[in-house]
Amino acid sequence: MNKKHIPSVSTLILFSCCLILNSCKNEVKEPVEKEVEKTVYASDVIPFFDDWKLILGDGSNAGIANNFENKDFFYTVNEGNSDWVVFKTPNGGDTHGTSNNTRTELAQTKKWYPKTANDELTATLKVMNVSATGDASVAASHSVVVGQIHSADAFENEPLKIFYKKFPGHTKGSVFWHYEINTAGDDNSKRWDYSSAVWGNDFSVVGDSVNTYPEEPKDGIALGEAFSYEVKVKNGIMTLNFSSEGHETKTFTKNLIESEYTTTEAIPEQTQKLFVPIGQDGVERKSAYAGEGCFFKLGAYNQTNGKSPEVNRNWCSGAETHNGDIQKQYADGNYAEVWFKKGSISISEDAVSNEGYFTKND
């Protein structure tokens, strides 16, 4: 009886061990669920994208950019507890419309008329990079436009461009804004800009030669240093407010429907030195931008390009473009990059569709 009983016990023990081992194996094989990382889109950070179309640094129109990203030009980054929207664009590549310069920039889908306007744009941003190369004696070199008012009609001139500019080797750069005249007559090649300094220098402060730089501005803004602007147009008057921690808040006003530049005698000294010598010596129509539909822009409009300074001593930088190879430009600093943290837009009831501008320029 003992001999028959012992194998039965052994079999039972082996069977129990197998059950335990199989149970352990099953526990190990159970899949561990991985947490899927959620993409943070620009429209999650600044929820106002219904009011814009996005132009990318390859010249394409991405349309309404809700839940959209493009890792070359437009995406988000997290820094500490803050998300930022990145606008990035190279020195050289395909451009939008007739511009010489690339941009990754929002363009408002509606246009409004300065005389009846009650429209506003605000933004908080920091510039992270401007072109590493460019002729320092060319005023546009090493700069980027971070906000605009653009005309959608006639010559499509720009009553406002907000610039950031920093020379290589400097810690601090300059913030300034431009008013471009709405040229009288049919020859828009005579148009010119007038530049006003906010912090640091204005557009006219340039180097003595290709690689010789002016003195660094004492009250300038560094790369990575945040600042804010507010642009409001009401009843023909543009009001600009600029603020940044540790800097004096600055306010400017400009009449957009009645020109102060209707005669050659009224051309400012700055313009006489900068634009008149290259044949840009026009005068402005008396009503300035009255009667033209205008719209806001926001982003990174790179002002440094690869065109020869012989073409235009103010706007053609002769910078490195690697024949339009974007990744090579990004690798050696030949691009503009701007991060936005906040933004808002207020549009008057008189605003109308701006689709005609995109039809012309896409």
pLDDT of residue 35: 65
CA 46 to chain centre: 14
Long-range contacts of the stretch 160-163 (C-beta < 8 A, 24+) = 160/231, 160/238, 160/240, 160/254, 161/193, 161/301, 162/229, 162/231, 163/195, 163/203, 163/303
pLDDT of residue 31: 61
pTM (two decimals) = 0.90
Mean pLDDT per 10-residue run, the chain (362 residues)? 44 46 50 73 97 97 98 97 97 90 98 98 98 98 98 98 98 98 97 98 96 96 98 98 98 98 97 96 98 98 97 97 97 98 96 96 92
